[in-house]
Amino acid sequence: MRRRYFEIDVFGNAPLMGNPLAVVLDADGLSTGEMQAFASWTNFSETTFVLAPHDPAADYAVRIFTIATELPFAGHPTLGTARAWLAAGGRPKQQGQVVQECGVGLVAIREDEERLAFAAPPLVRSGPIDPTLLDGVLDGLGLTSDMIRDAAWVDNGPGWIGLLVDSIETLASIRLGALEHPVGVVALGEEVDLATYEVRGFFPEGGQVLEDPVTGSLNASLAQWLVGTGRVVAPFHATQGRFVGRDGRIEISVDEGGAIWVGGSATVVIDGSIEW
């Protein structure tokens, strides 16, 4: 069967400098195993599959796969999937806002000229990190406790642990070892592109630890943590990706109801089809 296929560059501050995403439209009928096999074949950090929604409030449903597993939610796949669906002629039920159905429920995505933004879903786990677990995380990053200003669970589905470090220099000094959980590391300051802070995101996958170029789910949960603890005030933007040769820009805002929105670019790079 021929299915519409897109590759989208998400959060790039310049062409081809964001996080790539593969999107398969018209994916109804594919099994979980077939989706996982295709996601492993693309070798992207995530591949999404667009399906007919079950919830009448949703415009479409999406399933999100890494090369090894399925995720209930991820940020750059949320924006990239919405861009592909719109580019293929999708028309949202509510003008100016797409509603996605995924593993964490319904996620709103709004259009703002050429950019998209999603409403950060609530954290499923927050609060302090067990000291023994934190010691293991620091060992896995080559950091010491005196470099850490705060640590907390910032899990909105993928299992993120958040670390606030003392400087951009500490952020740059990370040396990867073994990690059992996805970890986001943030350094406050205006050293890079006048950003409020800079982010690095790491996750274990297939027996190794990888660094993600630009991570929407992590930036959503970090913003909830840092805004909620009064360390930063929205609107602002964060940067991520320079340590892996990318230039990502993530825009954070808060609406009148207090919801945090995570936005950025989502650009079609490849528009075609697959025979599968």
Q: Which residues are catalytic?
A: 46
Query: Encoding tokens for residue 55?
Result: 């919830």
Q: What's the angle, vertex CA 53, arms to CA 50 and CA 56, rounded to 5?
A: 150
Q: Quickly count: other Cβ atoms within 10 Å of residue 110's Cβ.
A: 18
DSSP code of 47? E
- Whether a cis peptide bond, with omega within 30° of 0, leads into 235 is yes
The two beta strands, 236-240 and 208-212, are unpaired
Spatial distance between the Cα atoms of 202 and 196, rounded to a whole number of angstroms = 20
Q: Indicate the Cα dihedral angle 157, 92, 239, 10, nearest 10°.
A: 90
Which residues have C-beta within 8 Å of that of residue 185, sequence separation ≥ 6? Answer: 141, 162, 163, 165, 171, 174, 199, 200, 201, 202
Spatial distance between the Cα atoms of 140 and 149, rounded to a whole number of angstroms = 17
Which residues have C-beta within 8 Å of that of residue 249, sequence separation ≥ 6? Answer: 11, 12, 13, 193, 195, 237, 238, 239, 264, 265
